[in-house]
Amino acid sequence: MSDTGDLIRLEHVYRYYGHTCALDDVSFTVGKGEVLGLLGPNGAGKSTALQIISGNLAPSAGQVWINGIDLLDRPTAAKAGLGYLPDQPPLYRELSVDEYLAYCARLNRIPAQQQRAAAATAKERCGLTAVGRRLIGNLSKGYQQRVGIAQAIIHSPAVVILDEPTVGLDPLQMREIRALIRELRGEHSIILSTHILPEVQAVCDRVQIISAGKLLLNDTIAGLQLRMRASSLVVGLRRSPPSAELEGLAGVEAVEALEEGRWRIHYVPEHSPAEALALAAARHDWGLYELIPERMSLEEVFVDITRSDPTEQAQGAAA
């Protein structure tokens, strides 16, 4: 599996809690230097997936490879290439940041003479140099989160798994953490789960939407942006023609009158009538003052994808 260059590979992973199916046939890969965003509503199975990849949870069925090593067959070897920040950072509150990171360095089998340097690098990258001697329990939530990230990257693992890394942070701290994630991407593969949509657009290369344990979408950010391009325009005309004339333009499917001479024009995807419309407006002196291509927000795409699925399932069950 190592020859494919994928640092993370999941194949047909299932996970059941009793009779509840938390993950249902999930397969995906993450390549080197890639940042994968795992999106999904609460209880969708994001954390379960990350726990399985980090070796905290065994899948009910299926296989996981980290850096080409089977996580279930050789867990210790596979975990050496893995850094994990759970949704709650695993911190010992009574230790100082320095003590804690020194312990993490030892735990991750960094050679003794490199441990100090590794801890210093991790601290510097996470902006913790000034708080090294303070007790973790006395740090603010944002700093605790950073210590959690420092712990995950201290041994420069090939794979970094971050479960909702910016939850509970203020906007400034969020930006710093995102900047850090972007900085890390160079040498690591990163999976992060989140329910904050702009975060995905800001830092991820690829997006997976997961809902009710199923992988619904696996797309690049560019692909997602393509999905976000809706097929409608809003035009504002000072001297509106009858709607029939607008409908007559090439590619137009439907025309909807809005207030004050504004119209929404739905068109056949990939056949925007914007150019033809501007030309016609100039020729017939309609007084064009506004021409806006409409876009769906990521939120709408997300709602669209996660919502359509249960109905499909219901239909499947009925049949």
Partner 1 sequence: MTFSIAALELRRLFLSPLAWSMLAVEQLILAYFFLIGIDNYLTLQPRLAAMAGAPGITDLVVAPLFGQASIFLLFAVPMLTMRLISDERRGQTLSLLLSAPVSMTEIILGKFLGVTTFFLILVVMIALMPLSLLLGGHLDFGLFAAGLLGMVLLTASFIAVGLFMSTLTAQPAIAAVATFGVLLGLWIIDWVGAGRSGDYGGLLGYLSILRHYASLLKGVFNSGDVIYYLLFIATFIILSIRRLDADRLQH
Residue closer to partner 1 by CB (options 136, 204) is 136
Residue closer to partner 1 by CB (options 137, 198) is 137
Rounded distance, CA 205 to CA 221, Å?
6
The residues, ordered by sequence, that sit 6+ positions from 176 with a Cβ below 8 Å of its Cβ are 127
- Using CB under 8 A as the binding rule, whether residue 40 contacts partner 1 is answered as no
26-34, 104-112, 190-198, 236-244 -> range binding partner 1 (CB under 8 A):
104-112
At 203, list the tokens. Answer: 């830092």
Report which of 21, 31, 11 is spatially closest to residue 214, judged by C-alpha positions. Answer: 21
Residue closer to partner 1 by CB (options 15, 185) is 15
- Using CB under 8 A as the binding rule, whether residue 104 contacts partner 1 is answered as yes
Residue closer to partner 1 by CB (options 90, 310) is 90
Minimum CB separation of residue 157 from partner 1 in Å reads 10
Minimum CB separation of residue 160 from partner 1 in Å reads 11
Judged by phi (left if over 0) then psi (alpha if -120 to 50, else beta), residue 278 lies in: alpha
- Using CB under 8 A as the binding rule, whether residue 94 contacts partner 1 is answered as yes
Check: CB of residue 204 under 8 Å from CB of residue 37.
Answer: yes
Q: What angle do CA 113, 75, 177 make, to 5 degrees?
A: 65
Site string for partner 1, 53-92 (x = CB under 8 A): -xxxxx----------------xxx-xx-xxx-x-x-xxx
Minimum CB separation of residue 107 from partner 1 in Å reads 4
At 318, list the tokens. Answer: 């009925």
Which of 21, 63, 68, 95 is the binder for partner 1 (CB under 8 A)? 95
Report which of 230, 188, 185, 192 is spatially closest to residue 210, judged by C-alpha positions. Answer: 192
- Using CB under 8 A as the binding rule, whether residue 109 contacts partner 1 is answered as yes
Question: What is the helix (H) or strand (E) element at residue 41, kind and residue range?
Answer: none
Report which of 264, 240, 245, 262 is spatially closest to residue 254, judged by C-alpha positions. Answer: 264
In sequence order, what are the beta bridge partners of 290? Answer: 236
Q: Segment 194-233, which members bind partner 1 (CB under 8 A)?
A: none
Which of 4, 12, 61, 107 is the binder for partner 1 (CB under 8 A)? 107
Residue closer to partner 1 by CB (options 84, 143) is 84
- Tokens 């990939």, located at residue: 270
- Using CB under 8 A as the binding rule, whether residue 45 contacts partner 1 is answered as no
Q: Segment 139-168, which members bind partner 1 (CB under 8 A)?
A: 151
Residue closer to partner 1 by CB (options 21, 95) is 95
Minimum CB separation of residue 211 from partner 1 in Å reads 21
Residue closer to partner 1 by CB (options 29, 96) is 96
Rounded distance, CA 88 to CA 92, Å?
12
Number of shown-chain residues binding partner 1 (CB under 8 A): 30
Rounded distance, CA 178 to CA 168, Å?
14
Report which of 61, 59, 80 is spatially closest to residue 69, judged by C-alpha positions. Answer: 80
The residues, ordered by sequence, that sit 6+ positions from 116 with a Cβ below 8 Å of its Cβ are 102, 105
- The residues that touch partner 1, with contacts defined as CB under 8 A, are 17, 51, 54-58, 75-77, 79-80, 82-84, 86, 88, 90-92, 94-95, 99, 103-104, 106-109, 151
